[in-house]
């Protein structure tokens, strides 16, 4: 029998059954808030400092006051992980605008809400990492970066969800999203990389991709291996003709793509550089100190 979770709600741990949010919370009413998804490896919170910093940056960008300091939030995350005896798992860290009046005005919300969930994580099956994954191109266009900066990890994920539906409708797990200019932005929940002539290319953040924590780690690991990494705009054609295509993300880690829109990538198996970076990331994540 699964142990009931302990959820951090605002300023303390509560039983899962008591972890409730008001129907007047603007996070629920308007998707007004920010979040982070964080991995736990061997009881260690992965890239804690980077995740907490990004949360505070997202909050500042939408004029949301996080209700505790970075140091106190870090301790609250660690406390929640320990209370739930998480060895390998996932943390969902959420800051909502808080309880306010009906209507868009965020200034009726006096105090932000804070939620920390630490639980097990549903991963892609191991077979997908060995054989590679199929994806499609979404027709849903990525939010314009001038409408909503892609660096803000906000609670409103409808743009990504609509693209995710397109993938699930044709029985593939992911879709590649393009921006208003037709350049590659990101997948619905992961960052995109390609390899061409042994050079790794990634869309720049300005193209509409989240500044992924895993993305940054993978770029760093690739450069440590002496691989060249170039951030530049990529087109759908670039994905069709590349030698390797892979995604990075908190849950996905590093996963190879072997087909997009019916076009086989490379030899139809995860490529050499993809496998190297997956191996390097796996080792890095599991021996990384806090």
User: Residue 94: which CATH number?
Assistant: 3.30.470.10
* Neighbouring-strand partners of residue 187: 176
**Is residue 214 in some structural domain?**
yes
**Is residue 1 in some structural domain?**
no
Write down the pLDDT at residue 122.
79
pLDDT (tens digit, 9 = 90+) per residue, 189-207? 999 999 999 999 999 999 9
Write down the pLDDT at residue 92.
97
- Do residues 113 and 131 share a domain? no
Domain boundary among 103, 119, 135: 119
Domain boundary among 65, 86, 119: 119
- Do residues 18 and 87 share a domain? yes
Candidates 6, 134, 153, 164; catalytic one: 153
- Do residues 87 and 155 share a domain? no
pLDDT (tens digit, 9 = 90+) per residue, 76-125? 999 999 999 999 999 999 999 999 999 999 999 999 999 999 998 878 88
**Is residue 89 in some structural domain?**
yes
- Do residues 95 and 206 share a domain? no
- Do residues 253 and 161 share a domain? yes
| Mean pLDDT estimate for the chain | 95
Annotated catalytic, 164?
A: no
pLDDT (tens digit, 9 = 90+) per residue, 252-265? 999 999 999 999 99
- Do residues 100 and 131 share a domain? no
**Is residue 17 in some structural domain?**
yes
Write down the pLDDT at residue 2.
62
Q: What SS3 class is residue 167?
A: helix
**Is residue 276 in some structural domain?**
yes
Q: Are 186 and 163 in contact (CB under 8 A)?
A: no
**Is residue 190 in some structural domain?**
yes
- Do residues 102 and 139 share a domain? no
Residue 113 structural domain: 6-119
Write down the pLDDT at residue 290.
37
- Do residues 266 and 200 share a domain? yes
Domain boundary among 119, 139, 160: 119
- Do residues 19 and 108 share a domain? yes
- Do residues 141 and 274 share a domain? yes
pLDDT (tens digit, 9 = 90+) per residue, 9-66? 999 999 999 999 999 999 999 999 999 999 999 999 999 999 999 999 999 999 999 9
More confident residue, 210 or 169: 169
Helix, strand, coil shares of the chain, percent, nearest 5, are 30, 30, 40
Write down the pLDDT at residue 288.
47
pLDDT for 171 beyond 80: yes
**Is residue 79 in some structural domain?**
yes
**Is residue 174 in some structural domain?**
yes
- Do residues 141 and 24 share a domain? no
Domain count of the fold of the chain: 2
DSSP 216-263: HHHHHHHHHTT--EEE----HHHHHH-SEEEEEETTTEEEEEEEETTE
pLDDT for 140 beyond 70: yes
Q: Are 273 and 227 in contact (CB under 8 A)?
A: yes
User: Residue 254: which CATH number?
Assistant: 3.20.10.10
- Do residues 220 and 131 share a domain? yes
Antiparallel, parallel or unpaired: β 133-137 and 44-45: unpaired
């Amino acid at each position: 029998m699964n142990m009931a979770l302990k959820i951090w709600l605002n300023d303390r741990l509560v039983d899962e059954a008591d972890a409730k949010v008001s129907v007047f919370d603007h996070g629920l009413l308007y998707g007004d808030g920010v979040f982070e998804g964080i991995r736990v490896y061997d009881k260690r919170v992965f890239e804690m400092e980077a995740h907490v910093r990004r949360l505070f940056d997202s909050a500042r960008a939408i004029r949301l006051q996080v209700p505790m300091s970075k140091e106190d939030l870090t301790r609250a995350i660690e406390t929640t992980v320990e209370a739930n005896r998480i060895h390998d798992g996932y943390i969902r860290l959420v800051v909502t605008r808080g309880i306010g009046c009906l209507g868009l005005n965020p200034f009726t919300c006096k105090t932000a809400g804070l939620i920390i969930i630490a639980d097990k994580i549903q991963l892609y099956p191991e077979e997908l990492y060995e054989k590679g994954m199929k994806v499609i191109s979404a027709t849903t266009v990525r939010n314009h970066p001038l409408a909503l900066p892609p660096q803000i990890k906000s609670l409103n994920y409808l743009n990504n969800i609509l693209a995710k539906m397109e993938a699930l409708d044709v029985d593939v797990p992911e879709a590649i999203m393009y921006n208003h200019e037709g350049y590659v932005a990101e997948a619905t929940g992961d960052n995109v990389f390609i390899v061409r002539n042994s050079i790794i290319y990634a869309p720049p953040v300005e193209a509409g991709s989240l500044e992924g924590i895993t993305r940054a780690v993978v770029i760093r690991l690739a450069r440590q291996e002496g691989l060249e990494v170039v951030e530049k705009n990529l087109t759908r054609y670039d994905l069709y003709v590349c030698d390797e295509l892979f995604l990075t993300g908190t849950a996905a880690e590093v996963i190879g793509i072997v087909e997009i829109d019916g076009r086989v990538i490379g030899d139809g198996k995860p490529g050499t550089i993809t496998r190297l970076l997956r191996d390097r990331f796996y080792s890095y994540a599991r021996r990384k100190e806090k």
